[in-house]
Structure 1
Amino acid sequence: MPTDSFTHTGAIELAEGETPAIRFNRIVKRFGDHTVLDGLDFTVRKGDRVTLIGPSGSGKTTILRLVMTLEESQDGYILIDDKPLTHIEKDGKRVALKDKHRSQMRKRIGMVFQQFNLFPN
C-alpha cells in the first residue's frame, strides 16, 4: 500500500441501538493506478465533529467528495444514518442503487465550500 494513501481502521464504540451519522465500510478509491483510499473503515457518531488532517493527496477531499456523491468508490459502502448512499450488497455482490434513491439521500447532505469566493455572485 502506498504511504500517501489514507487508511483508517480504528472502530469507535457505539452505544446499543445507536445509529452512526456516517459509516464508511471497506471503501476503496483509485485514480488510475494510484490508490487513494484502501479499505477505509470509519464511523462518525451523530453530533461528533471530525477533522481530516493529512498531506496533500492523502484522500481528505476524496472522502468528502464520496459523501457528496461527486465521486464513486470502486469498492465498499457508505451509509448515512444507516441507509446506503450509493450501493448495497445483494447476493454477495456490490449493486448500485437507483438514481431516485441517490437523489433522496443527497437531499440530506450539505456542503460548505472552504473558499467563500468560489462563485462570483
Structure 2
Amino acid sequence: MPNTDHLRIQAVILGIPTGCVTSYGEIAHRSGLPGRARLVGRVLREAGEQAALPWHRVVRADGRLAFASGSKAFREQKRRLAAEGVTLNGVRVDLSLFGWQRDLDAELWSPDAWVHAPRSGH
C-alpha cells in the first residue's frame, strides 16, 4: 500500500493534461513536496503498469527525456508523446510549447494564497 506522499504524487501525475509534459520537480512541488524530484522518479518506477500513470508526460526540468537516447524506454516515451501531439526537438520537449505550467495568477490571487506568506518586518 503506497504511503500518503506516494498517493499525492500519483494524483498529480494523473492530472497532467494530454498533450502536456511536466518535470519531476514540478510534480513534487504540486504534491506539496518541493525538492523531492527523486521521490517522484521512485514512485513512477515502483507504481507498475497497474497504476496506469501517464509516465510518458514526465520529463527532466530542461525538457529532456529521462531515458538514454535511442533506448527502448526513450523510443516508447517519444512514441506516446507524439501520439498526443507533443514533438521533440532532438531529445527535448519545448516546455514553452508543451509544458504544464502553473497558473501564476491563481497562485497569487487565490483566497488562501496569502495565508502562509511571510510578513514584512513592519
Q: Which has the higher helix share?
A: 2
**What's the TM-score once normalised by structure 2's chain length?**
0.26
Pick the structure with greater CA Rg. Answer: 2
Give the number of the structure whose residues are more often strand, by fraction: 1
